[in-house]
Amino acid sequence: MIPTQKTKKFLFWCGLSLPMVALLAMTWLVHQSSGQFSNSFNWVMQTYKVLDLFEQTHAHIVDTEANQRGYLLTGRSDYLEPYHRSLASIRDDIAELKKLTHDNAAQQSNLAMLEKMVDSDLVFDPATAVVVGVNATNGSVVTVTQRGRLKLEQVRRVMFQAHEEQQRLLSQQQQSAESDAVYTQIMALVLIGAVALALILVVVILLRLEKLQEFVTICAWTGQVKFQGKWLRLDEYLKQQFGISVSHSLSQEAAEKMMHEIEDLNLNRPGPPPPAA
């Protein structure tokens, strides 16, 4: 099927516009990919920071409980300074975790529960606390030790919930990043295909233009065109070379010339013989 002139124009403009559109699309895609990569990288780094802070908070809680239990068991004041230092670190850690997870309701709930447990179980007044070391008995020592183990077990459960929630978010973000990467690769392949198609169209157009720039040999006597070693009528040449269908008509100049020839022929025609006498 020979393409029509309208189809050729359409292909021509597609060949010129597709590379520009593809270039703009690839620029947008690179910008989007860079933004997504930057956001994913920042989020992953923040997630690991949150996980490290949870581990650090857990270590501070263990230190605080150990120093509290040491004071309650022995009554020695040298346990109080590390106790207060660890307790202050816990409060700083929780405040930082609240800031980093402000958009996560589940983590905010876990942190609120953890903060409540710290205030109720780890905060005490040494001046009013009952010190076992003053009058130590095996039963009182066991009670304080079991109470400390129970506190740590409760804290460990809350910390485990918070840790699992952050791991879930990290896994979800990784899946989202993988989906974005696959989408970016597919879009890149589509754009590469569009650019390749546009280049093919441009090459076809250039070849057609090169054919148009070739010299055409026309017979000065008959008006025929030499094409691939054969002499063709002009309408046949246009049909084979460009797919142009030709219809025949009569120009005004040719029509006037034909009318003059007919009139001259009628004037020069001999008249009928005279009638016999």
Which contacts (CB < 8 Å, 24+ apart) does range 2-10 have?
2/243, 3/243, 4/243, 5/244, 8/208
Predicted pLDDT of residue 1: 43
Cα 216 to the center of its chain, rounded Å: 53
Predicted pLDDT of residue 88: 94
Q: What is the pLDDT along the chain (277 residues), one digit of tens a residue?
A: 445 556 656 666 766 676 677 677 777 767 777 677 677 777 778 888 888 998 899 999 889 888 888 888 888 889 899 999 999 999 999 999 999 888 889 889 989 998 888 888 888 887 776 665 555 444 455 566 677 677 778 888 888 888 888 888 888 877 877 777 777 778 777 777 777 777 777 777 667 666 655 667 888 888 888 877 888 887 887 777 767 777 777 778 877 787 877 777 777 666 566 565 5
Domain extents in the chain: 5-208, 215-268
Diameter of the chain by CA atoms?
Answer: 180
Which contacts (CB < 8 Å, 24+ apart) does range 174-177 have?
174/44, 176/40, 177/36, 177/40
Predicted pLDDT of residue 84: 92
β partners of residue 218: 225
- What is the radius of gyration, based on Cα positions, of the chain? 47
Q: Name the nearest CA neighbour of 76 among 134, 5, 37, 157.
A: 134
Q: Name the nearest CA neighbour of 104 among 162, 155, 52.
A: 162
User: φ, ψ for residue 192 (rounded to 5)?
Assistant: -65, -40
CB 146 within 8 A of CB 91: no
Classify 76 as helix, strand or coil. coil
Predicted pLDDT of residue 68: 86
DSSP state, residue 135? G
Classify 102 as helix, strand or coil. coil
Predicted pLDDT of residue 16: 65
CB count within 10 Å of CB 188 equals 15
User: Does the predicted model carry a pTM greater than 0.95?
Assistant: no
CB 103 within 8 A of CB 166: no
Cα 156–121–107 angle (5° rounding)? 45
Predicted pLDDT of residue 91: 92
